[in-house]
């Protein structure tokens, strides 16, 4: 880790930041404050002032808030390249999952790996995220599918959090796939008995479930999710990605913080979402990778819904994490505006994870990306290029 500096001043030739208080819903996502030739004054990890340029320690062509990837499946080990080939030959993601591959394949590898192996592989991934301007990510379990290995994943996330610059939020996704080796009832009962321990040891902020065709039906998880909520967990759902099974509706009923994927949402789901405070997490690279179509982002935004973006980084449906590529797909296939993308990746993402960041303004954490280009659009335009010059997290130079 870097030396601690109590005070640092960053000069921005150009500063772009969401403007106001999150969450930014619908058209508010396009409210971007643009400033030129300013100094961002940072003291004890927080932004204290933005003023016309006088004197700075470090300078950049463009400064934005740090990026938040609100949906990844770290930690995991191993590869699913055989499955990738199977899909190119016509097999479907859910078909592979139901025949015991997919998530189950990674589960076997995770069960057979030590905590140390899982930690080292994941640490390498999150350092790559950081090098691309990501200051915060969400990580989740879900490749254990038994109590011992789900807890192993959660402990690895805690260790990643303790040993890294990144702000890491943890999610318990015990309900990722149905275990192959036991009855659903006995699995649910066992998970229920371990939830209080997860809470007590502060191993997870969120509880999530894969509520979709080939995974869990709404009525199979509703009670469990309600119980998690009574214990004080925030809820999220993998919702209606493969088919509309009513997962988005369940998410709204449960008061989830977000519903994620939602490729197959209906107009009535969108209307219900627009009347709720549920955020929608979109991950266009999963759509790209699986070839299953894209979420109706324009309809969602134009209905006044708040959007966050994520990579869904996982070894099966999205072995991709570069934010530039996610942004590229969001512009091309979700038809999002660059301003909307910036807000989704910064202020809305931070808000979803409960982190006081994602906006460059006094009193927010000094989590900043200093870019080598003055044009934000260059990042999605030339997505293979890494335009990151420096990354600051809590005012410390992490890159």
Q: x/- contact string, 78-117, with ligand NIG (CB under 6 A)?
A: ------------------------xx--x-----------
Of residues 240 and 312, the one with the C-beta less far from Fe ion: 312
Tokens representing 91 are 């097999």
Of residues 150 and 312, the one with the C-beta less far from Fe ion: 312
Distance CA(190)–CA(184), nearest Å, equals: 10
Q: Could you tell me how many residues of this chain bind ligand NIG (CB under 6 A)?
A: 14
Distance CA(151)–CA(240), nearest Å, equals: 27
**DSSP assignments along 144-182, one per residue:** --SHHHHHHHHHHHHHHHHHSSSEEEEEEEEESS--SSS
Report the nearest approach of Fe ion to the CB of residue 85 (Å): 21
Report the nearest approach of Fe ion to the CB of residue 281 (Å): 9
> Is there binding between residue 8 and ligand NIG (CB under 6 A)?
no
> Is there binding between residue 209 and ligand NIG (CB under 6 A)?
no
Residues 262-321, interacting with Fe ion (CB under 5 A) = 312
> Is there binding between residue 339 and ligand NIG (CB under 6 A)?
no
Residues 317-356, interacting with Fe ion (CB under 5 A) = none
Residue 395 interacting partner from Fe ion, ligand NIG, none (CB closer than 5 to 8 Å by kind): none
Tokens representing 35 are 């400033």
Of residues 262 and 370, the one with the C-beta less far from ligand NIG: 262
> Is there binding between residue 314 and ligand NIG (CB under 6 A)?
yes
Report the nearest approach of Fe ion to the CB of residue 71 (Å): 6
> Is there binding between residue 316 and ligand NIG (CB under 6 A)?
yes
How far from the centroid of its chain's Cα atoms is residue 309's Cα? Answer: 7
- The secondary element (H helix, E strand) that includes residue 10 is strand 7-18
Tokens representing 82 are 């055989």
Residue 103 interacting partner from ligand NIG, Fe ion, none (CB closer than 5 to 8 Å by kind): ligand NIG
**DSSP assignments along 288-328, one per residue:** HHHT-----HHHHHHTT--EEE---BBTTTB----HHHHHH
Distance CA(355)–CA(398), nearest Å, equals: 18
| Contacting range for ligand NIG; rule: CB under 6 A; set: 187-195, 220-228, 314-322, 350-358 | 314-322
Distance CA(94)–CA(179), nearest Å, equals: 15
> Is there binding between residue 286 and ligand NIG (CB under 6 A)?
yes
- The secondary element (H helix, E strand) that includes residue 116 is helix 115-131
Of residues 293 and 362, the one with the C-beta less far from ligand NIG: 293
Q: Please tell me the number of Cα atoms within 13 Å of 369 on its side-chain side.
A: 30
């Amino acid at each position: 880790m870097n030396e601690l500096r109590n005070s640092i001043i960053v000069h921005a030739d150009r500063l772009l930041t969401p403007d106001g208080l999150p969450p930014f819903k619908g058209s508010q996502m396009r409210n971007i404050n643009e400033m030129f030739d300013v100094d961002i004054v940072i003291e004890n990890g927080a932004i204290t002032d933005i003023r016309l340029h006088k004197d700075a320690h470090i300078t950049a062509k463009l400064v934005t808030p740090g990026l938040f990837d609100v949906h990844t499946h770290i930690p995991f080990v191993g590869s699913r390249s055989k499955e990738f080939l199977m899909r190119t030959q016509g097999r479907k993601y859910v078909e592979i999952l139901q025949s015991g591959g997919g998530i189950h394949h990674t589960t076997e590898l995770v069960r057979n790996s030590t905590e140390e192996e899982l930690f080292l592989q994941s640490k390498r991934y999150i350092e790559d995220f950081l090098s691309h301007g990501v200051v915060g990510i969400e990580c989740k379990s879900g490749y254990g599918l038994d109590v011992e290995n789900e807890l192993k994943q959660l402990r690895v996330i805690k260790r990643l959090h303790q040993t890294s610059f990144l702000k890491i939020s943890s999610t318990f996704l015990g309900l990722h796939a149905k275990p192959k080796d036991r009855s659903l009832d006995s699995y649910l009962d066992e998970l229920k008995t371990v939830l209080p321990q997860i809470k007590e040891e502060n191993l997870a902020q969120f509880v999530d479930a894969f509520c979709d065709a080939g995974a869990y039906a709404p009525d199979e998880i509703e009670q469990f999710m309600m119980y998690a909520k009574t214990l004080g967990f925030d809820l999220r759902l993998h919702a209606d990605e493969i088919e509309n099974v009513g997962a988005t509706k369940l998410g709204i009923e449960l008061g989830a913080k977000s519903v994620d994927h939602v490729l197959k949402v209906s107009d009535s789901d969108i209307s219900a979402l627009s009347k709720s405070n549920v955020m929608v997490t979109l991950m266009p690279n999963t759509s790209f990778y699986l070839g299953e179509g894209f979420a109706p982002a324009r309809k969602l935004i134009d209905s006044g819904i708040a959007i966050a973006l994520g990579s869904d980084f996982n070894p099966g449906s999205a072995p991709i994490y570069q934010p530039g590529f996610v942004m590229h797909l969001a512009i091309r296939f979700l038809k999002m505006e660059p301003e909307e993308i910036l807000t989704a990746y910064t202020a809305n993402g931070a808000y979803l994870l409960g982190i006081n960041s994602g906006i460059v303004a006094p009193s927010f954490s000094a989590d900043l990306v200093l870019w080598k280009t003055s044009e934000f659009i260059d990042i999605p335009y030339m997505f293979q290029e890494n335009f990151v010059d420096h990354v600051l997290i809590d005012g410390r130079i992490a890159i």
